[in-house]
Amino acid sequence: MKIVKLKKTNLFLFLEIISKEADFWAPVKKSPDKHIFEVIEDFSKINLDYTRTILPPKKIMLPSDFNMFQASNTKYTPDFSHVSKKIIFGIHPCDIHALVIMDKFYSHEYNDPYYQKARDNTLILGHSCWPDEYCMCKSTHTHVVKEGYDLFFTDLEDTYVVWIGSSRGDDLIRLKPELFDEDLTDKDIQNFSQRREERDKAFTNDINFEAMPDLMELKYQNLLWDKLGEACLACGSCTNVCPTCNCYNVEDKPILGKNCSNISRCWDSCTLENYSGVAGGENFREKRSDRLKLFYTHKLQSYISKYGKPACVGCGRCVVTCPVDINVYTVSKSLDNEEVDTFWNRLSKEVTK
Amino acid sequence: MNGENKIKAPANPFQPEPARIVRTYPLTDDVNFFQIRIADMEKALSFQYQTGQFAMISVLGAGEAPFSISSTPSRPGLLEFCIRKAGTVTNALFQMKENDLIGLRGPYGNTFPIEKMQGKDIVIVMGGLGAAPLRSVLLYLLDNRDQFGRVLLLHGAKRPAEMLLREEFFSLKEREDLECYLTVDEDDTGEWPADVGLVTQLFKKLGNINPENTFSLVCGPPIMYKFVLKEILKLNIPKDQILMTLERRMKCGVGKCGHCAIDYIYTCLDGPVFTYWDVIHMRELI
Ligand SMILES: Cc1cc2nc3c(=O)[nH]c(=O)nc-3n(C[C@H](O)[C@H](O)[C@H](O)COP(=O)(O)OP(=O)(O)OC[C@H]3O[C@@H](n4cnc5c(N)ncnc54)[C@H](O)[C@@H]3O)c2cc1C
Ligand code: SF4
Ligand code: SF4
Ligand code: FES
């Protein structure tokens, strides 16, 4: 791995140079505790002091609604207008891990060109972060990154240690090599290690993800699922904010007055009522609890069985988003027999009173 | 490290090919038969599929849905489907006439294990729309008749008017190399020339079955599985020689949209053909 140094005062200069021909996405503050990824032109709007954005960067690769084809009877013309040259700056390790999971998923058996083209045209410039009480990435081993990015900036007071993760990342550095210092001093290395140690200690959550596949299997009929099903609003927020949720629907939208259609693809959610409905009124997962089981089978079990790691990257978005406290943290803890303070536990206490 | 070492599938797996409805006519009140040919001659001839697979059919302005291929790869050129009117796409299909254009892509999904079935006796049990996927394998067996042992077909419908492909099955019934039993739950015509009663009652007509040497293929409405499987298990056919094809909601056919997920698999990639062992060791299958 090639590692260089950049003075913080030179950051904007560097971004200026590399972002000339690309949409530049970065975290922006929307309210005291809400951040989002947005296309920006004025770098002073970048806010790197954030923990997680509302929506993950998947919205940049595959927007919540985009066109797959312009279709007529005689031709289905692929539409790649959602693809453009992009740079995502300030993306955290968990979200980079999510992209690596997506890379695997979208190339498994069939290659999804809508994802692939967007990914190929996007440069990933990661940035270090500091955990809050909801981050679970240490338990999912996604708090550090080794792949999936072009450059990764670790914040060390007045400098960045910049990890070069790809040949394209190396090209970026070469656009203005004089901004970078190739010699890391002993002091730099010491600072880096110290930061790493302190950050490791700052994690407050510990979830035993290794135990989850077996627990999911053993507790598949557990009453816990009924409680969750009763509380769930089937709102789909958890899947929208999750960086590794990828389900979608396809819609044929006729263009008025013409004999053609836009075939569009929009995010869908396994928590929604009709997700598994088929013709004849049959619905394989009519119950909310059954749909939540599918979500948690995906996050905590199937991916681990297939790829050896969970499909959850521990970003904590579901934790801060679900209005009734159904999230990877509370569900894992409950499966592991720990008492957690949640809306649904309070609800069932109310009921038994 | 990032060197390409895998040849990826061609450009756009979601892109339908324009295809033409060659013939369409009703089979029952709500099921129509469709013969379809991909418009581009070269692509039509290079469309290679196997029994058990399905295709995605799209109608401009209505959408796209999965359908089992009912024709057999042993008779290339035309693709055949039995389609029930169920919603947006199928209603639009029923409006279409011969020579109209639709979109088609595929084939998708796994297949019946024809190689393993060679030399074995085959018991096919179908009900309702289950005839759609099983007709493909039945015709394949008949076209390659010398490669298989006994071939037995049990086909059940509620009433005579509801049996798909009646005429075709009655003419197959004439064949000496096929043991074909057709039954209706209730004969409201008074003229049904074959069996009357539930499909499960046909099992007593099978005669001596050597279970180790037998494959059974089942497809029908959910309620049918329950009773038919009981009969098949009574015959002691090994669990991984009992095959069924299952239905799920599907929006992509290629393992991306997530809708067909069951447990840790995607029905569109790892199904729609499953063994009875799959069904009992995987949750939610039936
Ligand atoms: C592998 C496979 C093979 C198949 N083979 C065949 C075959 O050979 N022949 C055949 O006829 N069918 C087959 N099917 C079933 C077929 O795919 C469905 O009947 C088809 O998708 C119906 O599409 P549609 O657009 O006409 O119906 P839709 O409009 O999608 O409606 C179908 C049903 O879905 C539900 N639904 C859809 N959207 C909504 C909504 N917004 N709100 C509430 N409910 C909704 C309803 O229950 C409705 O009855 C197969 C399915 C699979 C998975
Ligand atoms: S399941 Fe929750 S914590 Fe895990 S990746 Fe998804 S949103 Fe983040
Ligand atoms: S688990 Fe929570 S966020 Fe997800 S659908 Fe249910 S209520 Fe909404
Ligand atoms: S149909 Fe889309 S994943 Fe199977």
A262 beta partners:
A70, A253
Pull the structure tokens for residue A332: 């894992």
How far is the C-alpha of A288 from the C-alpha of A190, rounded, in Å?
Answer: 51
User: Which amino acid, one-letter code, is at B239?
Assistant: K
Pull the structure tokens for residue B9: 């599938």
Question: What share of residues in chain B are helix, strand, coil (percent, to 5)?
Answer: 30, 30, 40
A76/B16 touch (CB, cutoff 8 Å), yes or no: yes
Pull the structure tokens for residue A53: 């954005």
pLDDT of B7 > 60? The answer is: no
- φ/ψ of B183, rounded to 5, equals -135, 150
- Is B86 in the A-facing interface, judged by CB distances under 8 Å? yes
Nearest by CB to A71, from B12, B60, B256: name it: B60
Q: What is the residue extent of each domain of chain B?
A: 17-107, 114-245
The alpha carbon of residue A102 is apart from the nearest alpha carbon of chain B, in Å, by: 10
pLDDT digits (tens, 9 = 90+) for B217-274: 999 988 888 899 999 999 999 999 999 998 788 999 999 999 898 877 899 999 899 9
pLDDT digits (tens, 9 = 90+) for B31-50: 999 999 999 988 898 899 99
> In chain B, which residues have their Cβ closer than 8 Å to the Cβ of A111?
8-9, 13
- Is B270 in the A-facing interface, judged by CB distances under 8 Å? no
Ligand 2 centroid distance, CA of A257 (Å)? 44
pLDDT grade for B8, boundaries at 50, 70 and 90: very low
How far is the C-alpha of B54 from the C-alpha of B253, rounded, in Å?
Answer: 9
Least CA distance to B39: which residue of chain A?
A: A74
> Backbone dihedral region of B265: left (phi > 0), alpha (psi from -120 to 50 degrees) or beta?
beta
How far is the C-alpha of A266 from the C-alpha of A64, rounded, in Å?
Answer: 5
pLDDT of B9 > 80? The answer is: no
pLDDT digits (tens, 9 = 90+) for B22-31: 999 999 999 9
Atom of ligand 4 nearest to the CA of B249: 1
Q: What is the DSSP letter of B7?
A: P
Nearest by CB to B257, from A72, A73, A248: name it: A248
Ligand 3 touching residue A235 (CB < 6 A):
yes
> In chain A, which residues have their Cβ closer than 8 Å to the Cβ of B12?
78, 113
SS3 A319: helix
How far is the C-alpha of A236 from the C-alpha of A239, rounded, in Å?
Answer: 6
Ligand 2 centroid distance, CA of B138 (Å)? 47
pLDDT grade for A58, boundaries at 50, 70 and 90: very high
Q: Are A337 and A224 in contact (CB under 8 A)?
A: no
Is the interface score ipTM higher than 0.95? no
How far is the C-alpha of A244 from the C-alpha of A103, rounded, in Å?
Answer: 11
For residue A283, the model assigns a pLDDT of 67
SS3 A30: strand
For residue A353, the model assigns a pLDDT of 53
Pull the structure tokens for residue A30: 């929307």
Share of chain B above pLDDT 70, in %: 95
Atom of ligand 4 nearest to the CA of B268: 4
Atom of ligand 1 nearest to the CA of A280: 49
Question: In which residue are the tokens 């013969």 written?
Answer: B35
Q: Which residues line ligand 4 (CB under 6 A)?
A: B 250-253, 255-260, 266-268
Ligand 2 centroid distance, CA of A243 (Å)? 7
Distance set, CA A326 to CA A311, A350, B200, B241 (Å): 17, 18, 45, 41
Long-range contacts of the stretch B261-269 (C-beta < 8 A, 24+): B261/A270, B261/A294, B261/A298, B263/A297, B263/A302, B264/A297, B264/A301, B264/A302, B264/A305, B264/A306, B267/B109, B268/B66, B268/B108, B268/B109, B269/A109, B269/B108, B269/B109, B269/B110
Side by side, the strands of the sheet bearing B214-219 are B195-196, B179-184, B151-157, B121-127, B214-219, B242-245, B273-275
Which ligand is nearest to the Cα of residue B271, counting in written order? 1
Please tell me which residue, B165 or B282, carries the higher pLDDT value: B165
pLDDT of A98 > 70? The answer is: yes
The answer for B 39-58 residues in CB contact with A (under 8 A) is 39, 58
Ligand 3 touching residue A326 (CB < 6 A):
yes
Atom of ligand 3 nearest to the CA of A271: 5
Residue of B264, B268, B281 to mutate, interface with A, max A Cβ within 10 Å:
B264
The alpha carbon of residue A4 is apart from the nearest alpha carbon of chain B, in Å, by: 21
Ligand 2 touching residue A317 (CB < 6 A):
yes
C-alpha closest to that of B34 among B23, B26, B45, B44: B23
User: How high does pLDDT run on average in chain B?
Assistant: 91
For residue B5, the model assigns a pLDDT of 47
> In chain A, which residues have their Cβ closer than 8 Å to the Cβ of B16?
71, 76
pLDDT of A80 > 90? The answer is: yes
Residues contacting B144, CB < 8 A, separation 6+:
B74
Report the first-to-last Cα separation within chain A, whole angstroms.
60
Report the first-to-last Cα separation within chain B, whole angstroms.
43
SS3 A53: coil
B117 beta partners:
none
Ligand 3 touching residue A237 (CB < 6 A):
yes
pLDDT of A276 > 70? The answer is: no
> In chain A, which residues have their Cβ closer than 8 Å to the Cβ of B247?
278
For residue B10, the model assigns a pLDDT of 54
> In chain A, which residues have their Cβ closer than 8 Å to the Cβ of B87?
279
Pull the structure tokens for residue B260: 């067909």
A294/B261 touch (CB, cutoff 8 Å), yes or no: yes
Class of domain B114-245: alpha beta
pLDDT grade for A281, boundaries at 50, 70 and 90: low
Which ligand is nearest to the Cα of residue A136, counting in written order? 2
Least confident of A192-201, A219-228, B110-119: A219-228
Element (H, E) at B262: strand B261-262
Q: What is the residue extent of each domain of chain A?
A: 2-201, 209-352
Class of domain B17-107: mainly beta
For residue A344, the model assigns a pLDDT of 76
How far is the C-alpha of A116 from the C-alpha of A80, rounded, in Å?
Answer: 11
Least CA distance to B40: which residue of chain A?
A: A74
User: Which amino acid, one-letter code, is at A18?
Assistant: I
pLDDT digits (tens, 9 = 90+) for B137-195: 999 999 999 999 999 999 999 999 999 999 999 999 999 999 999 999 998 988 889 88
Least CA distance to A248: which residue of chain B?
A: B257
Share of chain B above pLDDT 90, in %: 75
- CB burial readout A141-161, b (16+ within 10 A) else e: ebbebeebbbbbbbbbeebbb
pLDDT digits (tens, 9 = 90+) for A121-136: 999 999 999 999 999 9
B258/A247 touch (CB, cutoff 8 Å), yes or no: yes
pLDDT grade for B1, boundaries at 50, 70 and 90: very low
How far is the C-alpha of A138 from the C-alpha of A313, rounded, in Å?
Answer: 9
For residue B23, the model assigns a pLDDT of 96
How far is the C-alpha of B137 from the C-alpha of B117, rounded, in Å?
Answer: 11
Distance set, CA A32 to CA A47, A72, A322, A325, B181 (Å): 11, 48, 19, 22, 73
For residue B226, the model assigns a pLDDT of 85
Residue of B1, B283, B285, B286 to mutate, interface with A, max A Cβ within 10 Å:
B283
SS3 A190: helix
- CB burial readout A243-257, b (16+ within 10 A) else e: bbbbbbbbbbeeeee
For residue B284, the model assigns a pLDDT of 64
Q: What count of CB pairs under 8 Å joins A to B? A: 111
For residue A280, the model assigns a pLDDT of 61
Least CA distance to B269: which residue of chain A?
A: A109
For residue B286, the model assigns a pLDDT of 63
